[in-house]
Every structure is written in C-alpha cells, then in structure tokens.
Amino acid sequence: MRKFLALATLAALATLTVTAAAAAKGPATASLTGPGLGRALPVKGQGEGGAGTPLGSLVQFGGYFPQVFGQSPDPTTRTRPAGDLGPRYRIVYRVPGPSGASTIVQDVYPYAKPSPVTHMRAGQLFWGGQRTYGGWLVAGAGLKTALVEAGLPKLAPSSSGESFPWTWTGAGAGAAAALVLLVLALRRRGITRIRAVRGTA
C-alpha cells in the first residue's frame, strides 16, 4: 500500500511538472529601446528552444522564465544589486497565450559590472489573470552578446559612460586657457597705460 501511494505521489508530481512546463510560454517577439539607440530595435529569433537566436539567448540568459513564472530554486532577488549598473534599457515582450497576446516589460542593464543585470516588475498582468513573479537577476555574459547582435553598441553611450568626464575635462581645459590669455592681455594693457601716464607726467 505504501509503495502504491509513493508511486501515485511521484506520478502526480510529474504531471504537475509537465503541466507547469507546458504553461510557461516564451515570447513571440521582443523590442529593445534605450540610450543611444534612437529607435526600437527588434530582437529577432525564437523565444523558446534555447540560445540559438538573439531572442532565445535573451530569454535564456536574461531570466525571462524565472521572472515571469517563478522558479525553484529561485535565481532572482528582491533587492537591487549593489554598484553602478550603468544605463537602463527596456525590453517589451509580446507573449502569445490562450486569451490572446500579452505585453510584458523587462528592464536590462547590459553594461553593469561585472555582469549584466535584469529587472522585471512583479505583478504585471498577462493572459487575463496571471501576474509576473518579478525580481532582479544577475545575468551571464551571453545576454549582452545577444543584445549586441540585435544592434546594441558594444560600449555604453558617451553621455552615460566612461567617456563623459573626459568631454567635460577637455572643455574645462579650453575655458581655463582662454581665461589665462584674457588675464594676460588685461595686465599688458594696464602696464601700457601706466607707462603712458608716467611718460606725460
């Protein structure tokens, strides 16, 4: 009897696992927007089946499934990773479902150090009644590779990257040089006037 109950329990768990896997659908399309892009970039490929396309890599490495449906063990956290994450980009997924396509939004920080980071707001409604699990996730390097393949620059835009301070340094040096020249010119004019007054005295 105990053996029968154990087998029945295992069968029930297997059925639940298969059902959950079948319910977890990948996105049909995705688009990327953010600093330096100018327009929305389509992330092409298949949303299911692994990292064979840019969209598949984005789904696999960006934490789409655990952030949408939840997962055990849970790779996400409720708190933002420490440090400077760099510029934020936004991904809009279109997810087909039994009641029509739904839209799910995910934020991605592809230039975060040492690894890219993604975040999905919990509670986003999809498929008419389900809500996203949400959370923060430290992704693998494959995430940035997939986004670069879709059109993301390899380096962060200068307005929010490391080259920004150098731009201001160059402008400041030019202004300082102009100020020094102005001071020298005024001093020379003042000395000339003094000499002229002394010569007429």
The pLDDT tens digits for 105-155 are 999 999 999 999 999 999 999 998 999 999 999 998 899 999 999 999 999
Which is higher by pLDDT, 175 or 70?
Answer: 70
Tell me what pLDDT residue 95 has: 96
**What pLDDT sits at residue 161?**
39
In terms of domains, do 170 and 145 share one?
no
3 versus 28: which is more confidently predicted?
Answer: 28
Question: Is 7 domain-assigned?
Answer: no
CB of 101 within 8 A of CB of 120? no
Shared domain for 174 and 196, answered yes or no, is: yes
- Does 143 lie in the same domain as 106? yes
DSSP conformation letters of the chain:
-HHHHHHHHHHHHHHHHHHHHHH-PPPSEEEEE-TTTSSPEE--S-SSSSTTSHHHHHHHHTTHHHHHH--SS---BSSPPSS-----EEEEEEE--TTS-EEEEEEEETT-SSS-EEEE-TT-EETTTEE---EEEE--HHHHHHHHHHT--SS--TTTSTTHHHHHHHHHHHHHHHHHHHHHHHHHHHHHHHHHHHHH-
Asked whether residue 143 falls in the same domain as residue 170, the answer is no
Domain count, the chain: 2
- Residue entry with tokens 């929010």: 160
* pLDDT tens-digit readout, 24-68: 689 999 999 999 999 999 999 998 877 889 999 999 999 999 999
58 and 140, same domain (yes or no): yes
Confidence of residue 201 (pLDDT cuts 50, 70, 90): low
**Residues 81, 172 within the same domain:** no
Instruction: Indicate if the pLDDT at residue 163 is higher than 60.
Output: no
Q: Does the residue 1 lie in any domain?
A: no
- Domain membership flag for residue 18: no
Average pLDDT, the chain: 80
User: Residue 70: which domain range?
Assistant: 24-150
- Range among 98-102, 121-125, 173-177 with highest mean pLDDT value: 121-125
Q: State whether 33 and 120 are in the same domain.
A: yes
